[in-house]
Amino acid sequence: MQELRELPVRVAGVELQILQLREEMGAAFSATRSELRAEMHGIRDELRGEIHGIRDELRLEIQAGNQETRTFMRMLMRSTRRRPRRWVKGSQSANDEGSQAGKARRNLPESDLDVRTPQ
């Protein structure tokens, strides 16, 4: 019977221990979450910086490639425009004012006929 009388006191003691453990664990988990959150923010900021750097490098490379492509396209265009003039230079139809080759030759500006290779 003595054990039954002590039971409420023992249960209260266990309840108190459970509440203390719960508070300690809550505080520990909260601290862990805060530490992880701070680390994740640091990692995020570092990755953002790296991504921005890579993005800027890629933009510069793309712009350089675009410029090279434009230069090459202009050279090809001028070269293509110049070819008909070369083909007709020695032919009789080039001197004929009514011929298509003669018209094409008259309509081309001299600046478009200058072909230079990019360096």
Domain boundaries, the chain: 7-109
Q: How many angstroms separate the CA atoms of 80 and 70, rounded? A: 15
pLDDT value at position 94? 46
The pLDDT tens digits of the residues spanning 37-58 come to 999 999 999 999 999 999 999 9
Tokens of 94: 């080039």
pTM: 0.44
Q: Are 93 and 101 in contact (CB under 8 A)?
A: yes
Q: DSSP letter at 99?
A: S
